[in-house]
Amino acid sequence: MDSYGECSRKHLRRWADDRRKILGMLKSVILALISRLPTFDLPIPDNLVDAFISILDTLNYYLPLPTILAILTISVAFTNWQVIWRIIQRVWDALPFT
């Protein structure tokens, strides 16, 4: 007779094989359904791309890149300072002698 460990390993192996078969069948059904979907082409008109580029150029005129980078740098520095200060406060509160 097989020991309990060998028996459970056989069951686990059989269960894993069954699971692979079920997942393989499910995968083939999904792939068959996807292959039946009609293909479509979504053309992007040239004037839409030109309009988007002109919007970016306008934004760049009113807010040049160095200004945006300065704003982002200050914002990130402020957020980092808040996080570091809160960590210092937590550590200080956790110290037993304070």
Is 50 exceeded by the pLDDT of residue 1?
no
- Asked if 92 and 98 touch (Cβ cutoff 8 Å), the reply is yes
**pLDDT at residue 7, rounded to an integer:** 64
Mean pLDDT across the stretch 83-95? 93
Q: Does the CA dihedral 27-32-38-41 come out positive or negative? A: positive
Residue spans per domain, the chain: 1-40, 42-98
Question: Is pLDDT at 4 greater than 60 in this prediction?
Answer: no
Per the CB < 8 A criterion, the answer to whether 10 and 2 are in contact is: yes
Dump pLDDT digits (tens) for 42-88: 887 878 889 999 998 998 888 888 888 899 999 999 999 999 999 99
Tokens 């097989």 belong to which residue?
2
Looking at residue 89, its pLDDT comes to 93
Which has more pLDDT, 42 or 33? 33
> What is the reported pLDDT for 87?
95
